[in-house]
Amino acid sequence: MNKKRLLHLGTYVAFAVFIIWSFMAGQDQGQAVWSNFSKFALTMLKILPPAFVLIGLFDVWVSRETVERNFGHAGGPMKYVWSILLAATTVGGTFVAFPVAHALHGKGARFSSILAYMSAASLVMVPMTIIEASILGIRFSLVRLLISVPLVILTSSIMGRYLERRGYTLPDQGDE
């Protein structure tokens, strides 16, 4: 067993021991940690399986040529529009955005498109924007979008060019 796996195992064991000790000793903080952890875990169990099914369908149904044409070198400035529109429809936040970004990368999307998608996935989700507009007002939401979307495009373009010039590649899956 390598050091990384041993460290992960040690972390899980320490967490389990802490939780068990908290319940045995009647420690409210540890019990609250367990309560928050279990609520979060149940939420993820509701969100992730359907999201992974949709990502799998995306991987099978959307051809590499389509992704390269719309998110790759041939995409031009429209690749940012497609990235932001895809991000707006992504449900589940960054938990779902990372696997989608990985699928985009595997099908030939440029780093700038992927970075625009990842950034926009936290900023322009339709459900979040609707809730935000109902609480803070439509004017606030429009101003936020009009400021943040161009910044997403600008920074993802700069970072994408930087990564491509440096010849950056994603780490090998076997390194985990």
Consecutive 10-residue averages of pLDDT for the chain (176 residues): 86 92 90 92 85 84 89 88 90 81 90 94 88 94 95 96 91 58
What ranges do the domains of the chain cover? 1-46, 62-175
**pTM to 2 decimal places:** 0.74
For residue 2, what pLDDT is reported? 86
121, 90 in Cβ contact below 8 A? yes
3-state secondary structure 77-143: CHHHHHHHHHHHHCCCCHHHHHHHHHHHHHCCCCHHHHHHHHHHHCCCCHHHHHHHHHHHCHHHHHH
